[in-house]
Amino acid sequence: MASSIGAPKVTFSSSTLQHLCKKFPPPISPRYLSPNSSPCFHFRGIKSPSGGCRFFIPYRCFTVRAESENGAEPRHYDFDLFTVGAGSGGVRASRFAASYGSSVAICELPFATISSDNAGGVGGTCVLRGCVPKKLLVYASKYSHDFEESCNFGWKYEIDPVHDWRTLIANKNAELQRLTGIYKNVLKNAGVTLIEGRGKVVDPHTVDVDGKLYSARHILIAVGGRPFIPDIPGSEYAIDSDMALDLPSKPEKIAIVGGGYIALEFAGIFNGLKSEVHVFIRQKKVLRGFDEEIRDFVAEQMSVRGIEFHTEESPQAILKSPDGSLSLKTNKGTIDGFSHIMFATGRRPNTKNLGLETVGVKMADNGAIEVDEYSQTSVPSIWAVGDATDRINLTPVALMEGGAFAKTVFCNEPTKPNYRYSFCLVTYSLHTSKERKLLGNVVK
């Protein structure tokens, strides 16, 4: 008796139990089931909050028959959901789907501070090479301004404070390791199976992870995006935002190409850390698409800080001198003596070599996965959320899309991502130190 109560899962199919389960919503919406789907009933063992006795909760799931000539044999999958990519959207969708009673696996590349075809890490861009590490560098950069301003309040320093870049980067990386560990525990506690490796879709229900095949009723692609560097002569000498967050030494003189908020954030960081900073933009003003008064104010205040703006200049080539210094050639001339040249010229969906085109998933010219209003691709069993779809490429939006997907597919609640209030849901945050604090005076 005791051993039967301790069994983690009991499966029932008799009609005598069906009336008990009718009130439980199916974890997969009928809208997305094939005509060959048939219900079955399971009981999942749950411990009481006190940790004493164990009781069972019935839930309803579906077995989907294989698409074959005879149509007789049901197809059983390893998982209800297999997610490729453990960033914000993928983790949210996976743990929500698991909470609805589905079996879920997620694959992700091994951890690295700089992403590549062979490295990534649980947590994704925002946690590992975006918002979190960038803010840590912003915090480091603001101290130089505080030191300067403190002199007006009576503080005196016998020697000028000196910043140790290696200490900053080492502590930043230790924090990233801690955070990726937390994300792994979140998945584990939700009952999601984490598989380390590179995933590739080989058919509408199968993912290959480093040579091992896993089948799933549904596949979710949540691989995010990667920084984009234009293909100009000498582009191999340039760095992107990933690399800028993990340089072995602080730039002495850096050119930042781009006029968006990522470019300006890094300009503020390196300026605060006492690098010489030059920003090159194709337009007359920074922050295209933002309020005109804000655009003017931010550029003015950053210029006061000592950042030099080069407007209406497009990069044409990067040249490397024998001494290792870099020169940036633009349509207006060439500027020499840079230790680093960074491009902050946008991001592209990270969808290369995933096998999506081979299985019939429609893709945009820039590599984005085309989806409908429910995040479903042209292949009914394959879905996509986050930056890989190139809708609104921000972490809160990826979280929203992941939650909506899980509700649609596994909770019998067809849910469209709501972008109508996206500017209430997400806030473009310019981490440019003092300018950020002063913006309130501009928009009152």
DSSP string, 48-89: -TTSS-EEEEEEEEEEPBP--SS--SBPP-SEEEEEE--SHH
CATH number of 79-227+348-411: 3.50.50.60
Res 257 pLDDT > 80: yes
CB-neighbour burial class of residue 228 (10 A; exposed 0-12, middle 13-18, buried 19+)? middle
Q: For residue 419, what pLDDT is reported?
A: 87
Q: For residue 75, what pLDDT is reported?
A: 83
Q: Cβ of 321: how many Cβ atoms within 10 Å? A: 11
**Structure tokens, 44:** 């999942």
CATH number of 235-344: 3.50.50.60
Query: How far is the CA of 260 from the CAs of 142, 193, 219, 285, 397, in angstroms?
Result: 20, 38, 34, 10, 19
Q: Which of 65-69, 93-97, 116-120 has the lowest mean pLDDT?
A: 65-69
| Residues 6+ positions from 270 with CB-CB distance below 8 Å | 141, 250, 251, 254, 256, 277
pTM of the model: 0.82
Under DSSP, the state recorded for 30 is G
Q: What is the pLDDT of residues 328-384, one digit of tens each?
A: 999 999 999 999 999 999 999 999 999 999 999 999 999 999 999 999 999 999 999
The average confidence (pLDDT) of the chain is 85
Strand partners, 254: 277, 340
CATH 3.50.50.60 domain position(s) in the chain = 79-227+348-411, 235-344
* Element containing residue 265 per DSSP (H, E): helix 261-272
